[in-house]
Chains A and B, each alone.
Chain A
């Protein structure tokens, strides 16, 4: 993930920088920075050291972004690359410190705290999912507290990841509810000729009044063809949906 992020950021910056400044040398510097960002992250990933990976990612991405921005604002390629390199020297150790701090916080909080946070997130997800899914809270908490193989709870980190995914799922379910609800309303409108005509008429009247208010009567008359076309399009869409 981090490697992909490094590569994506590096190449996006490279493309933007190349597009903005336009010279092949600038594009070259930016592309090299992007490749360095991805390469550094990939190397750390291969080493398998998460701390090194974090530092490598931040340093590489920083180099790519800063040198890319340098080329974008018109700095000479050599200066951009140097500034990018210097920024990576600052970003790397800063990321290292942040990593150590977060690891320390996690250690001090302990697995119990993380488990509680995961439980809270699962409950939050159940609330977000709506009253129709009230049983999901118990289901999800049961998932969090029992691993499939041995009946032991999932490790705290995995519980947290699982709970975050549940939150995402709750949002998706609610979004699905909204779409279904909108679909029911649309079906209700389309079920009757009068309702369909009223809806289309309302939309066209709104468009006409907007044109009248912003462009006056002349604008309305000029755009009559557009309004008629919009009406025909809406009518055809309604027929199709039926």
Chain B
């Protein structure tokens, strides 16, 4: 599995993606709003996640009236497993170093 650095912004993006219900579509602007990050941070992260195989992107079906089609993003199975493993490894590392372990940060839904 490709190595992904889990920075705070990456975790915030993963958190939004992981918390979304399967029928709840998530697109770039929504991630920016919910993660409180700018698109200049979010889109490079989405690209890295996609390159690692953690993220799947697809266009909205049909042509909605009054606005352009959106591009939706969702975590893949690999992404959910990878996120779970990475968070567990991170928690172990933090415990070993004596830091308090933050409450579940974007664990797979």
Name the one of A139, A162, A165, A169 contacting B71, with C-beta atoms under 8 angstroms. Answer: A139
Q: Verify B28–A139 contact, CB threshold 8 A.
A: yes
Give the residues in chain A near B48, CB-CB below 8 Å. 176
Report the minimal beta-carbon distance from A172 to chain B, rounded to whole angstroms: 5
Q: Verify B39–A143 contact, CB threshold 8 A.
A: yes
Secondary structure of the A side of the interface?
Answer: helix
7 further contact pairs, Cβ within 8 A, besides A140-B43, A142-B68, A148-B29: A135-B71, A143-B39, A146-B29, A146-B68, A169-B44, A173-B44, A176-B44
Give the residues in chain B near A133, CB-CB below 8 Å. 47
Would you call A114 an interface residue if the criterion is a C-beta within 8 Å of the partner chain's C-beta atoms?
no
**Please, which residue of chain A has its CB at the minimum distance from the CB of B43?**
A169
Question: Considering residues B41, B47, B48, B66, which has the most beta carbons from chain A within 10 angstroms of its beta carbon?
Answer: B47
Give the residues in chain A near B41, CB-CB below 8 Å. 165, 169
Cα–Cα, bound, A141→B47 (Å) = 17
Report the minimal beta-carbon distance from A181 to chain B, rounded to whole angstroms: 14
Report the minimal beta-carbon distance from B65 to chain A, rounded to whole angstroms: 9
Give the residues in chain B near A151, CB-CB below 8 Å. 66-67
Give the residues in chain B near A162, CB-CB below 8 Å. 29, 32, 38-39
Q: Verify B44–A172 contact, CB threshold 8 A.
A: yes
Scan A112-139; emit 1 where CB is below 8 A from any B CB, else 0.
0000000000000000000001011011
Please give the residue numbers on chain B whose beta carbons come within 8 Å of chain A beta carbons, in ascending order: 27-30, 32-33, 38-44, 47-48, 66-71
Q: Verify B29–A172 contact, CB threshold 8 A.
A: no
Q: A143-B39, A165-B39, A169-B41 are in contact. Are A148 and B69 (CB under 8 A)?
A: no
Give the residues in chain A near B28, CB-CB below 8 Å. 139-140, 143
List 28 interface pairs A-B (beta carbons < 8 Å), by A numbering. A135-B71, A136-B43, A138-B69, A139-B28, A139-B71, A142-B27, A142-B71, A143-B32, A145-B67, A145-B68, A146-B67, A146-B68, A146-B70, A148-B29, A151-B67, A153-B67, A162-B29, A162-B32, A162-B38, A164-B40, A165-B40, A167-B40, A168-B40, A169-B38, A169-B40, A172-B44, A176-B47, A176-B48
Give the residues in chain B near A138, CB-CB below 8 Å. 68-69, 71
Cα–Cα, bound, A168→B42 (Å) = 11
Cα–Cα, bound, A164→B38 (Å) = 10
Give the residues in chain A near B67, CB-CB below 8 Å. 142, 145-146, 151, 153
Name the one of A135, A147, A170, A176 contacting B29, with C-beta atoms under 8 angstroms. Answer: A147
Q: A135-B71, A141-B68, A145-B67 are in contact. Are A169 and B30 (CB under 8 A)?
A: no
Name the one of A135, A136, A142, A168 contacting B70, with C-beta atoms under 8 angstroms. Answer: A142
Question: Considering residues A139, A166, A168, which has the most beta carbons from chain B within 10 angstroms of its beta carbon?
Answer: A139
Report the minimal beta-carbon distance from B41 to chain A, rounded to whole angstroms: 7
**Please, which residue of chain B has its CB at the minimum distance from the CB of A149?**
B33
Q: Verify A142–B69 contact, CB threshold 8 A.
A: yes
Give the residues in chain B near A135, CB-CB below 8 Å. 71
Report the minimal beta-carbon distance from A223 to chain B, rounded to whole angstroms: 40
Cα–Cα, bound, A22→B29 (Å) = 52
Cα–Cα, bound, A77→B33 (Å) = 49
**Please, which residue of chain B has its CB at the minimum distance from the CB of A161?**
B38
Give the residues in chain B near A148, CB-CB below 8 Å. 27, 29-30, 33
